[in-house]
Chain A
Amino acid sequence: MSTIIETRNLTKKYGDFTANKDVCLKVEEGEIRAIIGENGAGKSTLMNMLYGTLKPTSGEILFDGKPVTFDSSLDAIKCGMGMVHQHFKLSPSLTVYENIILGLEMSREVSIFGKKVTLPVINNKKEKEAVRQLIQRYNFNLDPGAKVKDLSIGAKQRVEILKMLYRDVKVLILDEPTAVLIPQEIEELIEKIAELKKMGKTVIIITHKLNEVKQCADTISVMRRGHLVGTVKNDDSATPETLANMMVGRPVQLVAAKSPKPVGKEVVLDVSHLSAKDSYGKAVVNDVSFQIHDNEVVGIAGIEGNGQTELMYLLSGLMKNSGGSVKVKGKEVLGMWPDELRAEGIGIVPEDRYRQGVCLPLSVSFNLISGYHGDKRFCHSGLMDYAEIRKNKEKLVEEYDIRLSDSADPPVEALSGGNAQKVIIAREFSHDPSVLLMAQPTRGIDVGATEYIHDEIIRFRDKGKAILLISSELTEVKGLTDRLLVMYEGEIVGEFVSDEVSFEELGLYMSGAKRMKKDA
Chain B
Amino acid sequence: MYDFIVSLLYYTVQMSTPLLLCCIGGVFVQKAGTMNFALEAGINVGAFSSIVFTVISGSIFAGICSSFIWCLVLNAVFGLFVIKLKANATIVGLSLNMIISAIPPFLLSVFFPSRGFLSALDIIDLASMKVDVPILRSIPFISDIFNNQTRLTYLTFFIIIFLTFVFYKTKFGVYIQVTGENKGAAEAVGINTNFLKWVALAISACTCAMAGMNLSVELTGMFNLNIASARGLICLSAINCGKKRPIQACLFGLLFGFSNALQVCLSKYVDVNTTELFKVIPYITIIIVFLITEIPVSMKNTMRIFREA
In the bound complex, do residue B177 and residue A279 qualify as a contact, i.e. CB atoms below 8 Å apart? Answer: no
How far is it, in angstroms, between the C-alpha of A102 and the C-alpha of B190 when the chains are bound? 10
In the bound complex, do residue A89 and residue B174 qualify as a contact, i.e. CB atoms below 8 Å apart? Answer: no
**Is B181 interfacial (CB-CB < 8 Å)?**
yes
- Smallest beta-carbon distance B264→chain A, Å: 37
Question: Which of chain B's residues have a CB closer than 8 A to the CB of A105?
Answer: 171, 174
Stretch at the interface among A244-252, A291-299, A315-323, A476-484: A315-323
Assuming the contacts A92-B182, A94-B174, asked whether A121 and B169 have C-beta atoms less than 8 A apart, the reply is yes
Question: Which of chain B's residues have a CB closer than 8 A to the CB of A253?
Answer: none
Number of A-B contacts defined by CB within 8 Å: 77
In the bound complex, do residue A313 and residue B303 qualify as a contact, i.e. CB atoms below 8 Å apart? Answer: yes
**Is A278 interfacial (CB-CB < 8 Å)?**
yes
Nearest-CB residue, chain A, relative to B305 = A318
Question: Which of chain A's residues have a CB closer than 8 A to the CB of B305?
Answer: 318
0 or 1 for each of A72-94: is its CB under 8 Å from B? (1 = yes): 11100000000001011111111
Nearest-CB residue, chain B, relative to A74 = B190
0 or 1 for each of B141-181: is its CB under 8 Å from A? (1 = yes): 00000000000000000000000000001110010011001
**Is A277 interfacial (CB-CB < 8 Å)?**
yes
In the bound complex, do residue B304 and residue A318 qualify as a contact, i.e. CB atoms below 8 Å apart? Answer: yes
Question: Which of chain B's residues have a CB closer than 8 A to the CB of A90?
Answer: 182, 185
Give the residues from 102 to 129 in chain B that come closer than 8 angstroms, CB to CB, to chain A: none
Question: Which of chain B's residues have a CB closer than 8 A to the CB of A124?
Answer: 169
- Smallest beta-carbon distance A249→chain B, Å: 34
Question: Which of chain B's residues have a CB closer than 8 A to the CB of A93?
Answer: 177, 181
How far is it, in angstroms, between the C-alpha of A124 and the C-alpha of B177 when the chains are bound? 16
How far is it, in angstroms, between the C-alpha of A216 and the C-alpha of B287 when the chains are bound? 57
In the bound complex, do residue A94 and residue B177 qualify as a contact, i.e. CB atoms below 8 Å apart? Answer: yes
Question: Which of chain A's residues have a CB closer than 8 A to the CB of B308?
Answer: 278-279
Question: Which of chain B's residues have a CB closer than 8 A to the CB of A88?
Answer: 185
How far is it, in angstroms, between the C-alpha of A163 and the C-alpha of B302 when the chains are bound? 37
In the bound complex, do residue A103 and residue B190 qualify as a contact, i.e. CB atoms below 8 Å apart? Answer: yes
**Is A122 interfacial (CB-CB < 8 Å)?**
yes
- Give the size category of A's interface with B: 35 or more
**Is A207 interfacial (CB-CB < 8 Å)?**
no
- Smallest beta-carbon distance A146→chain B, Å: 16
In the bound complex, do residue A278 and residue B181 qualify as a contact, i.e. CB atoms below 8 Å apart? Answer: no
Nearest-CB residue, chain A, relative to B173 = A122
Q: A74, A89, A120, A276: which contacts B182 (Cβ < 8 A)?
A: A89
- Smallest beta-carbon distance B213→chain A, Å: 28
- Which interface residue of B300, B301, B304 has the most chain A CB atoms within 10 A? B304
**Is A14 interfacial (CB-CB < 8 Å)?**
no
Question: Which of chain B's residues have a CB closer than 8 A to the CB of A85?
Answer: 184, 188
**Is B6 interfacial (CB-CB < 8 Å)?**
no
Nearest-CB residue, chain B, relative to A313 = B303
- Smallest beta-carbon distance A340→chain B, Å: 12
How far is it, in angstroms, between the C-alpha of A317 and the C-alpha of B306 when the chains are bound? 11
Assuming the contacts A93-B177, A120-B171, asked whether A277 and B182 have C-beta atoms less than 8 A apart, the reply is no
- Smallest beta-carbon distance A372→chain B, Å: 18
How far is it, in angstroms, between the C-alpha of A120 and the C-alpha of B165 when the chains are bound? 11
- Smallest beta-carbon distance A352→chain B, Å: 10
Q: A72, A121, A313: which contacts B190 (Cβ < 8 A)?
A: A72
- Smallest beta-carbon distance A473→chain B, Å: 23
**Is B191 interfacial (CB-CB < 8 Å)?**
yes
In the bound complex, do residue B174 and residue A102 qualify as a contact, i.e. CB atoms below 8 Å apart? Answer: yes
In the bound complex, do residue B188 and residue A73 qualify as a contact, i.e. CB atoms below 8 Å apart? Answer: yes
In the bound complex, do residue B170 and residue A121 qualify as a contact, i.e. CB atoms below 8 Å apart? Answer: yes
How far is it, in angstroms, between the C-alpha of A295 and the C-alpha of B175 when the chains are bound? 57
**Is B227 interfacial (CB-CB < 8 Å)?**
no
Assuming the contacts A74-B190, A120-B170, A122-B171, asked whether A91 and B302 have C-beta atoms less than 8 A apart, the reply is no
- Which interface residue of B177, B188, B306 has the most chain A CB atoms within 10 A? B188
- Smallest beta-carbon distance B95→chain A, Å: 25
Assuming the contacts A72-B190, A122-B169, A122-B170, asked whether A91 and B182 have C-beta atoms less than 8 A apart, the reply is yes
In the bound complex, do residue B300 and residue A91 qualify as a contact, i.e. CB atoms below 8 Å apart? Answer: no
In the bound complex, do residue A320 and residue B302 qualify as a contact, i.e. CB atoms below 8 Å apart? Answer: yes
- Smallest beta-carbon distance B66→chain A, Å: 30
Give the residues from 304 to 319 in chain A that come closer than 8 angstroms, CB to CB, to chain B: 313, 317-319
- Smallest beta-carbon distance B85→chain A, Å: 22
Question: Which of chain A's residues have a CB closer than 8 A to the CB of B304?
Answer: 317-320, 337
In the complex, 26 of the A-B residue pairs with CB atoms within 8 angstroms, ordered by the A residue number, are A72-B190, A74-B189, A85-B188, A89-B182, A91-B177, A91-B185, A92-B181, A94-B174, A94-B178, A103-B189, A103-B190, A105-B171, A105-B174, A120-B170, A121-B170, A122-B169, A122-B171, A277-B302, A278-B302, A279-B301, A280-B300, A281-B300, A318-B303, A318-B306, A319-B302, A319-B303
Other than the given A89-B184, A279-B302, 12 more pairs (CB < 8 A) read A89-B185, A90-B182, A91-B181, A94-B177, A98-B174, A102-B174, A102-B191, A121-B170, A122-B170, A277-B302, A319-B303, A320-B303
